[in-house]
Amino acid sequence: MTNLLFRDIDIVDGTGAPRFRGDVLIDRGRIAKIAGPRTLNAARIVDAAPGSVLAPGFIDMHAHSDLHLLTDPDHFPKISQGVTTEVLGQDGLSYAPIDDATLAVLRRQIAGWNGNPANLDFSWRSVADYLERLDQGITPNVAYLVPQGTLRLLVVGSEQRAATVAEVRRMQELLAQGLREGAVGMSSGLTYTPGMYADTGELAALCEVVADFGGFYAPHTRSYGAGALEAYSEMIELARSTGCALHLTHATMNFGVNRGRAPEFLALVDAARAEGCDITLDTYPYLPGATTLSALLPSWAMSGGPDAALARIDDPALRARIALDVDVNGSDGCHGVTVEWETIQISGVANAELDRYVGKTIDQIADESGVAPVAVFFGLLRRDRFATTILQHVGHEENVRAIMVHPGHMGGSDALLVGDRPHPRAWGTFPRYLGQYVRELGVLELEDCVHHLTGRPADRLRLSDRGLVFTGYAADLVLFDPAAVADTATFDNPKQQARGIQHVLVNGEFAIENGAPTGTLAGRALRMDSARKETY
């Protein structure tokens, strides 16, 4: 590596402190020295445009790049935003640890999140194997959460039932092994099967293991709709009772029942933090959410896995029961509310025969087809075999703004990178924070926002040498123009590179140079220090 110098540049160091002017010398992948402006020299000088800011690379606390990093390691949608580290294994479902049978189910069940690439070598089985596979060549750094739903699938299966004492013990053992191998914590998807079948006691037993290893628990809670406050309360009580650090991922208050209720949620968080609970959260700066169409099904309909669910859809009596839940009673898969079909927009399909529906809402398709919306729902599930992805237009701006200013807040894109029209957060989350919510709306000050996106998440991940522009730290850096940085991705045209980001470095090497990708694969898996090796 040739040493290089960012000369006479405004530095926002990730601590939240005011920016300052200086030189930053990079050598052998690290920040070798920080000094006053025009006092250092190097083999290569980077003269930034006037007004540019050098900051730590952004840390995406909620990413769904688990397979995309292997099939497209350049990872341009995220690296072009200035993202230098991502947290994978989210929402309780991912690809390690696995066995052959579990992998077969997962590839189908979360194809809408990650695709189901036919030619990808899925030869890994453990967390260690998966992290080593990522080490073979990726652009950003990654950290990994052991997915609780995958543990349950391995040990209990897809059935809706309580785990036995022996099964809970086995899940604890698998979780401990994943943490020893470098995972930073555990995730859950408590509106997704089979993770949602776990009761609070089962989750507590697993959180105790996470706490013993010094990791954190990142739950997708049981509801972001009708039961949102109760769902958050359950997770906060887990933190109290087990001593486990809690990170509330994509912490939203959605659907009509929660308009303007973010202060009630934040009051729960603040009360627990005041008692000493270690609680943080992340959000994306958009109103709509994104998930799979099959996620709207009630939990009982998904028991047994995708084939069992498709069989229920084909059974007239069970199909009528599902329709009653989604249209009248409220589906737990839809956060306890009835599905509002006008808010459900198709963002991607696997079956090319369904391409014409991408970008349309279920209501629009129903009107064009002359059938009921629930019939469209069943038809898409059948024909796309659960691979359909959706946008769900159910958020509220006042909630988004209230939550993003919280002192425990961090940024997370929750980006699905598959489909023809993915959520624009896949390309625009971090520039949108800096452009819309800092420069245009003034919701956050620049230094505070950078702290939310860098230093604060690095602390949550226990990364002792990342997330700050400090001497000795890894040179994960982004150079951007705060007067120009902006997301350009839209819901109609989501795959658009952001403006105003000039350079991105990962471990001291240019991943983006003058706005263009370099193809350099300098990222690696960041493993949690596993010095604590309690026996399970």
DSSP 324-367: HIIIII-BGGGTTB---GGGEEEEE-SSGGGGGGTT-BHHHHHH
Q: How much helix, strand and coil, in percent to the nearest 5, is found in the chain?
A: 40, 20, 40
Mean pLDDT of 25-53: 94
pLDDT of residue 532: 54
Q: What is the dihedral of CA 27, 32, 35, 37, to 10 degrees?
A: 20
Contacts of residue 164, Cβ cutoff 8 Å, sequence gap at least 6: none
Instruction: Provide the pairing of β-strand 4-11 with 344-348.
Output: unpaired
Mean pLDDT of 170-192: 97
From residue 51, how far is each of 233, 297, 447 by CA, in Å? 44, 50, 14
Alpha-carbon distance 218 to 394, whole Å? Answer: 22
Which has the closest alpha carbon to 303: 408, 421, 197? Answer: 197
428-464 core/surface letters (b: 16 or more CB in 10 A; e: else): bbbbbbbbbbbbeeebbebbbbbbbbbbbbbbbbbbe
Contacts of residue 407, Cβ cutoff 8 Å, sequence gap at least 6: none
For the chain, the average pLDDT equals 96
Could you give the residue ranges of the DSSP H alpha helices within 416-525?
A: 425-432, 446-453, 455-460
Q: What is the 3-state secondary structure (H, E, C) of 130-144?
A: HHHHHHCCECCEEEE
- According to DSSP, residue 17 is labeled P
On the question of pLDDT at 530 being above 70, the answer is no
Instruction: Provide the pairing of β-strand 216-220 with 279-283.
Output: unpaired
Q: How confident is residue 308, by pLDDT bands cut at 50, 70 and 90?
A: very high
Mean pLDDT of 13-22: 98
pLDDT of residue 528: 86
Q: How confident is residue 497, by pLDDT bands cut at 50, 70 and 90?
A: very high
pLDDT of residue 448: 98
Mean pLDDT of 200-217: 98
On the question of pLDDT at 251 being above 90, the answer is yes
pLDDT of residue 49: 83
The structure tokens 């070798």 sit at 32
pLDDT, tens only, 418-437: 988 999 999 999 999 999 99
Phi-psi label, residue 51: left if phi above 0, alpha if psi -120 to 50, beta otherwise: left
Which has the closest alpha carbon to 65: 45, 86, 79, 92? Answer: 86
pLDDT of residue 533: 57
Interior CA angle at 455 toward 453 and 460, to 5°? 95
Mean pLDDT of 340-355: 95
pLDDT of residue 1: 61
pLDDT of residue 431: 98
pLDDT of residue 187: 98
Q: How confident is residue 47, by pLDDT bands cut at 50, 70 and 90?
A: confident
Looking at the chain, the whole-number percentage of residues with pLDDT higher than 90 is 95
Neighbours of 169 (CB within 10 A): 13
On the question of pLDDT at 126 being above 70, the answer is yes
